[in-house]
């Protein structure tokens, strides 16, 4: 059960990251893939 729960959480996190990158990409805000890229995106959004 723990493995299935973790797998679900990882898939949800990945989907959220991809959706965030896609929506911000429409406004020309681009960063690298992965969790590190999300940190950069959050900083860019806070600055804007």
Q: Identify the residue with better confidence: 12 or 44.
A: 12
- Provide the pLDDT for residue 11: 96
Q: Identify the residue with better confidence: 13 or 48.
A: 13
Q: Are 10 and 2 spatial neighbours (Cβ–Cβ below 8 Å)?
A: no
Instruction: State both tokens at 33.
Output: 């893939």
pLDDT tens, position by position, 18-47: 998 899 889 888 888 888 888 888 888 888
Residue 5 has pLDDT above 80, yes or no: yes
Q: List the chain domain ranges.
A: 2-47
- Provide the pLDDT for residue 36: 84
DSSP structural state of residue 33: S
């Amino acid at each position: 059960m723990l493995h299935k729960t973790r797998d679900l959480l990882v898939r949800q996190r990945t989907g959220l990251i991809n959706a965030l990158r896609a929506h911000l990409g429409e406004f020309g805000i681009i960063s690298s893939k992965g969790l590190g890229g999300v940190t950069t995106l959050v900083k860019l959004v806070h600055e804007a």
